[in-house]
Structure 1
Amino acid sequence: MAASPRSSLRASALSALALVGVLSGCAPVDAPPPPGPSATASAAASSAVSSTTPPVPVPVPESDEPAVTQTPETAAQQGEATDAIQSPARAALGELPVKGRAPKTDYSREQFGARWSDTDRNGCDTRNDILRRDLTDVAVAPGTQGCKVLSGDLTSPFTGEFIDFVAGVQTSSDVQIDHVVALSDAWQKGAQNVDADRRTQFANDPLNLLAVDGPSNSAKGDGDAATWLPPAKEFRCEYVARQITVKQRYELWVTDAEKRAMDAVLSQCPGQQLIIDPVVPEPVDVPAASAPTEPAPVEPPALGTSAVPAPDAPEAPAPGAQGEAYFAKCADARAAGAAPLYAGQPGYRPGLDGDGDGVACETRR
C-alpha cells in the first residue's frame, strides 16, 4: 500500500529534526522515558546526603621552610629577652639607676674611714683578712692572733699570673687588695650622699675586695667597666657581676657608657649569677716561739781524768733586744731588710711595736 501524503510529511519532519540535533550536539530526539517513583526517591536521597556530609580534608605536605622568617633584629631582641630572664646579673643591671658622674669635689681616701679597719671585729685588719681568704698555703706570723700573713700563693684573677707572695718592704706590693668598685668611682656615683660609717663599711666589705697582682691594680686606678676590664677575659663576667652586686647593695648608680659596657660583657655569659658574700676564714693563732733554754751546767771532771773544756757562754744580746739583732729604730730595721719584726723573733722589742699587736715596724697600707 502506498503511503499517504500526511505520513510522508511527518517522516520528513522527523528526519529533519534528527539531523539538526546531531549537528547541534543536543540529546537525541528520542528522549528516555520519565523516571519511575523508585528512581526519583534515590535521586532525592543522594542529594540530601551530599548536602549534609562535610567534605573529606585533603592532607597538605609539610614544608621545609619555617612558617615565619625572623629578621636578625627580631632574633637579637628575643635573645636579649631570654638572656635577661636567664641572667640575674643582667636583670639586676637593668634595675640600677643610670646617671652622669657627680663632681669629684671633696673626695679623699679618708672619706671612707681609716685604711683597712677591723669592721668585722675579728681582731685582724681587712687587708690581712683578704690575704688569708684569697691566698693559698698561707703562713701567719706567730703571736699575731693568726692575723698577720707572712707568705702565701696567689693566682691573680685579673691576669692568671701566679705570685709567690712574701711580706716585706720590697715585696708586699706584689699583691694588692683591689676595691672592685673603686672608692673614687663610688664617691661620684652616690657614696658622697651617705654617712661616713656606711662609706667605711663599703671600703672594708669583703664583697668589694679582691687580692690581685699589683700592676693590674695600678693600671685600673679608679676606672669603671667602661674604661677598664681585667685582661683575663674569662674573669670578666664574674668581675662585672661583682660590681653590679656591690652597686646594688650600696645603692650606687652607673653611667650610660658603663651600663652598655657591662651589658656587652654579660651578653657573653647568659645565666651569670650575682655574687654571694664570700666567707672570710677565722684567724688561727700561732704561738710565739719559746725563749731558748740555758745550757745545762757541766760537771767538773773526776780526779784522774782529762779535763773537759767548758762550753762558751752565749753572748748577751744588746739591751732590749731579742736574739743577736738590735735595731734602735724601725728605719734601721727596714734598711737591714728585717722589717717587719715579729714577737719572738730576733730584733723585735716592744719599744718598736707602737700598737702592741706583736708586729713591729710593719708597713701601713
Structure 2
Amino acid sequence: MRGATTTRRRGLAALGLAVALLAGGCAGGLEPAAPGPGVVDRTSAPSGPSAAAPSATPAPGTAPGSALAALEALPVKGRAPKTGYSRDQFGPAWADVDHNGCDTRNDILARDLTGTATEPGTHDCVVLSGVLADPYTATTIDFLRGQTTSTAVQIDHVVALSDAWQKGAQQLDGEVRRQLANDPLNLLAVDGPTNSGKGDGDAATWLPPNKAFRCQYVARQVAVKQAYALWVTQAEHDAIENVLSRCPDQSLPAGGPAPVVEPSAPDEPDAEGPFATCAEAQAAGAAPVRRGDPGYSSRLDRDGDGVGCE
C-alpha cells in the first residue's frame, strides 16, 4: 500500500507540473507587430500604417470594425513619466519617409488644401498657397507661405508625440517612432492658433471646437494608437467612449484623403455638462479649461480669451 501511495503522489506531482507548464505557456503574449511606413501618394489617397488591428470581442451593441470596438481593444494603463522625451526621439521634423522627394509637411499641405500653387523648380513639392477647410474650427483659411504667414496653418500630430511617448512610444524602435511622426494617418492640416492651444493634450483634456468633427477626430486617435501599439489612460478612454457613444458606427480612418469638414454643431454643453465652478474644474484636474474642452463654458472664461479657470 505504501508503494502504491508513493507512486500515486508522484503521478499527481507530475500532472501538476505539466498543468503549471501549460498555463505558463498560455499566459505569454505575442509582441505587437511593428507598423509599416506611412506613405503619402500625391496622386491618390495616402495610406496609413500597415500593422494589423488587434482582435477583440466588441461589447454588446458595439459594431464590429468600428472605432468604438477598436477602443475597447486598446490597453488601459497609467501615463508613464515624460522622462527622456524630446522631439528628436521621433527623428528629424518632417522627414521624407516615403522618398517621393517632398517633406511630410508639404505632402500634408498638398493633401489637405485645395487650389494649391507650388514653387517652380521644386517638382511641385513646396506649397506656396492654398485654401484649408479647417476641421477643428469649421472655418476656411487662406494659406500663404511666408515667414509671418505660414503659421496660420499648422500640421497637427493628432496623437501628440509627447502623449505617444508617455503611452508606449518610448518602447518602440527609433525608426518606428520616425514613421509615427510622419504617418499621414496621424497628421492633419489645421488652424494654427487652435493647434497651439491643443498642445500635447489627449481626448480627456482637449477636443476640437467643431463638435461635428469630434467623432472623426477621436476615431483617428484610436486608429493611430491601435497601429502603433500605444495605450490610453482611463480618463482618455472614457472621454473617447463618451464621444463615440454619439456615433457608435463611426469607422476607423485608413489614412485616406483630407477629412470632410461639416459645419460646427450649435454651441451647447457636452453630454456630461460644463463645470459649475473653477473649483470643480480644479478638483477634477481639468483646469485651465479651454474652449472646446469637455467641461468648458463661457461663465468660466471671464476675460473671454477662450481659456477658463486660468
TM-score, scaled to structure 2: 0.63
Matched, 1:101 2:79: yes
Aligned equivalent of 2:179: 201
Q: Given residue 90 of structure 1, which amino acid in structure 2 is its aligned partner?
A: L
Cα offset, 1:85, TM superposition: 2.6
Give, in whole Å, the separation in 1 of the partners of 2:257 and 2:176: 20
Q: Given residue 68 of structure 2, which amino acid in structure 1 is its aligned partner?
A: R
Please report the RMSD computed on the Cα atoms of aligned residues, expressed in angstroms: 1.4
1:208-287 matched pairs, under 5 angstroms: 208-278=186-256
Q: Given residue 253 of structure 1, which amino acid in structure 2 is its aligned partner?
A: W
Number of matched pairs: 201
Cα offset, 1:218, TM superposition: 0.4
Q: Given residue 110 of structure 1, which amino acid in structure 2 is its aligned partner?
A: D
Aligned equivalent of 1:357: none
Cα offset, 1:95, TM superposition: 0.4
Cα offset, 1:195, TM superposition: 1.2
8 A Cα contact 1:101 1:255, kept in partner: yes
Q: Which runs of 5+ in 1 are unaligned?
A: 1-79, 281-365
Aligned equivalent of 2:101: 123
Cα offset, 1:208, TM superposition: 0.2
Aligned equivalent of 1:356: none
1:180-213 CA deviation, whole Å, 9 max, x = no partner?
Answer: 0000000000000011101000000000000000
Q: After the TM superposition, which of the residue ranges 206-215 and 80-89 deviates more from structure 2? A: 80-89
8 A Cα contact 1:86 1:270, kept in partner: no
TM-score, scaled to structure 1: 0.54
Give, in whole Å, the separation in 2 of the partners of 1:277 and 1:176: 18
Matched, 1:84 2:86: no
Higher relative contact order (CA 8 A, sep 6+): 2
1:304-338 CA deviation, whole Å, 9 max, x = no partner?
Answer: xxxxxxxxxxxxxxxxxxxxxxxxxxxxxxxxxxx
Q: Which runs of 5+ in 2 are unaligned?
A: 1-57, 259-310
Cα offset, 1:132, TM superposition: 0.1
Question: Rg larger in 1 or in 2?
Answer: 1
Aligned equivalent of 1:111: 89
Q: Given residue 99 of structure 1, which amino acid in structure 2 is its aligned partner?
A: K
Give, in whole Å, the separation in 2 of the partners of 1:246 and 1:93: 11
Give, in whole Å, the separation in 2 of the partners of 1:276 and 1:144: 29
Cα offset, 1:277, TM superposition: 2.0
Report SS of the residue matched to 1:137. Answer: strand
1:52-84 CA deviation, whole Å, 9 max, x = no partner?
Answer: xxxxxxxxxxxxxxxxxxxxxxxxxxxx95541
1:152-171 CA deviation, whole Å, 9 max, x = no partner?
Answer: 00011000111111100010
